[in-house]
Amino acid sequence: MKKSVVILGGGLTGLSAAWQLTKYGIKVSVIEKEHYTGGLSASIEKDGFIFDFGPHRFHTHDNKILEMVDSLVGHRLRKLTKSTKIWFMKKYFDYPLKAKDVFLNISLMLSLSCFFDYLFVRLKNKFKPMQDTSFETWVINRFGKSIYNFYFGPYTEKTWGRPPSMLSSSYAEQRIPAMNLLDVIKRSFITKFKKDNHPHSPYDSKFYYPYKGIGEIAHFLEKGILEHGGKIYTDSNVRKVTINNKKVQSVTFSGATGEKVIECDYLISTIALPDFIKVVVPDVDAPLLSAANNLSYRSIVFLNLIIDRPFVTSHHWIYIPPKNILFNRLSEIKNFSVDTIKDGMTSLCLEIPCDKGDLIWNSKPEDLYEKVVLQLEEIGLVSKEDIRNYFISRTEYGYPIYDITHAVKLEKLMKYVDQLDNLIVAGRQGLFKYINMDHAIKMGILSADVIMGYAKKEEVAQVCAWKGYYG
């Protein structure tokens, strides 16, 4: 008898799993809350312009995944070299930071204080290694207090909405490049620096991008699934996952045609782990529910602008650390692919970090637009007369928040889901893991292989288990 698999969530993880399973001839149903698939890696069209949910560069060290994505999009991937900046103290700095740039742009006093602080922590660490108890201590232990105070601290607090002393050091480990300031200094002055052997080097600036927006990857996955007889239910919200005898029996969801129940032999869940726990029947016990309620995600409101100018910047994106500016990053998709805009014009996507339900999240689009446009003018990038149209997009699940207690809560929840025989949890939201697109695709494919008996369930969560920088 053929197996029947239900997949919760039609982002890259869910779609890759479904794509692979339908190729194996398995009956698959994908249940997706939104009216489109792709999740965070979807693209949206407006007035002939294509927008992503913030800048998405495809990069991977796994050649099989690269070949798969390349052939999926018809060998139409552009190979690009990343160009990014940081704007603060009203100046532009290279990213990753270059010492030359920093020393030329900040005051002599601050430069000296950064340099001696750095020397001090390096020497101190040599004699008595310091403990990384939080994001804050991780950065100070490697860069010194001055660099932390003028850049890492404020940017992190703005992006995460929490003091860096409350965030886990594992987040810093995965997302902060250039751990060695001496390396930064050498790279600033020696242009032909030897190739980095580090598998996730921040200096590995090559990446790929499809011609018509990052959403093309999801689009072709979806096409493949449908062609192979898979079903995708969009606009459909998971309501109930019924468990019997340590096995998932069925999934109930509500969609355009009312409520529907699908029996399944296997379930792959890529929706947010806390949300999954809350729809399980019979209900989980109170401590587990409390762990689920206390794992949180940082949300993002995206302000997308259509601009009547040939270009605004020559960069892929610019980080904006100052706290008085609402957005923490802006990206210009035209610099990824000119096929995303109309001739002679451009667009910008501004990411505004927030928590679901706060003032930003609940702002009326027109109010947010008026505020943010003033700030764009203050930076000197765009004036209001250049803007032809705008719209807001949102995601509740932008980033899993690695607070200092998240690992304990996560372990509890994983213990519960792991004991359900025919359930695989995968993906950025499912595993509460800060992964990239290539990891999501790999997790999806591995999940399919687990069901076929070609891989072990543990392998899914081990994708991206590398301790270090991910870019």
- Cβ of residue 13: shortest distance to ligand FAD, in angstroms? 4
Looking at beta carbons only, is 188 or 252 nearer to ligand FAD? 252
Looking at beta carbons only, is 146 or 269 nearer to ligand FAD? 269
Looking at beta carbons only, is 41 or 340 nearer to ligand FAD? 41
Tokens 């052997």 correspond to: 197
Among 4, 83, 137, 237, binds ligand FAD (CB under 6 A): 237
As to burial, measured by CB atoms within 10 angstroms (0-12 exposed, 13-18 middle, 19+ buried), residue 254 is middle
9 binds ligand FAD (CB under 6 A): yes
DSSP secondary-structure letter at 32? -
| Spatial separation of the C-alpha atoms in residues 278 and 263, rounded to whole Å | 19
Tokens describing residue 458: 């543990």
Which of the residues 314 through 343 are near ligand FAD (CB under 6 A)?
Answer: none
| Spatial separation of the C-alpha atoms in residues 145 and 148, rounded to whole Å | 5
Other Cβ atoms within 10 Å of 294 Cβ, number: 13
| Spatial separation of the C-alpha atoms in residues 216 and 76, rounded to whole Å | 10
- Cβ of residue 279: shortest distance to ligand FAD, in angstroms? 7
Contact track, ligand FAD, 107-146, x by CB under 6 A: ----------------------------------------
Looking at beta carbons only, is 146 or 340 nearer to ligand FAD? 340
For 386, phi and psi rounded to 5 degrees?
Answer: -80, -15
> In the sheet where 258-263 sits, what is the strand order?
258-263, 247-255, 237-244, 280-281
- Cβ of residue 238: shortest distance to ligand FAD, in angstroms? 4
Looking at beta carbons only, is 61 or 309 nearer to ligand FAD? 61
In terms of DSSP bridges, do strands 49-52 and 84-88 run parallel, antiparallel, or are they unpaired?
Answer: unpaired
230 binds ligand FAD (CB under 6 A): no
| Spatial separation of the C-alpha atoms in residues 386 and 108, rounded to whole Å | 38
Contact track, ligand FAD, 417-446, x by CB under 6 A: ----------xxx-----xxxx-x------
User: Which DSSP string corresponds to 306-342?
Assistant: EESSS-S-SSSEEE---TTSS-SEEE-GGGT-GGGS-
Among 21, 32, 316, 382, binds ligand FAD (CB under 6 A): 32
- Cβ of residue 234: shortest distance to ligand FAD, in angstroms? 9
Contact track, ligand FAD, 252-291, x by CB under 6 A: ------------------xx---x----------------
Stretch that binds ligand FAD, among 5-13, 73-81, 85-93, 373-381 (CB under 6 A): 5-13
Looking at beta carbons only, is 32 or 132 nearer to ligand FAD? 32
| Spatial separation of the C-alpha atoms in residues 266 and 370, rounded to whole Å | 48
- Cβ of residue 296: shortest distance to ligand FAD, in angstroms? 15
Stretch that binds ligand FAD, among 10-18, 65-73, 74-82, 366-374 (CB under 6 A): 10-18
Looking at beta carbons only, is 31 or 139 nearer to ligand FAD? 31
| Spatial separation of the C-alpha atoms in residues 147 and 120, rounded to whole Å | 13
Contact track, ligand FAD, 51-90, x by CB under 6 A: --xxxxxx--------------------------------
Among 13, 22, 269, 340, binds ligand FAD (CB under 6 A): 13
- Cβ of residue 329: shortest distance to ligand FAD, in angstroms? 8
**Beta strand extents in 373-444 (DSSP E only):** 387-400, 423-425
| Spatial separation of the C-alpha atoms in residues 302 and 348, rounded to whole Å | 10
- Cβ of residue 433: shortest distance to ligand FAD, in angstroms? 9
Task: Name the 3-class secondary structure at 242.
Answer: strand
Provide the β-strand partners of residue 208.
58, 79
As to burial, measured by CB atoms within 10 angstroms (0-12 exposed, 13-18 middle, 19+ buried), residue 281 is middle
| Spatial separation of the C-alpha atoms in residues 366 and 390, rounded to whole Å | 9
HSE (side-chain half, CA atoms, 13 Å) at 112: 3
How far separated are the first and last CA of the chain, in Å rounded? 44
215 binds ligand FAD (CB under 6 A): no
Looking at beta carbons only, is 373 or 440 nearer to ligand FAD? 440
Q: Which residues bind ligand FAD (CB under 6 A)?
A: 8-14, 31-34, 39-41, 53-58, 237-238, 270-271, 275, 300, 351, 397-398, 427-429, 435-438, 440
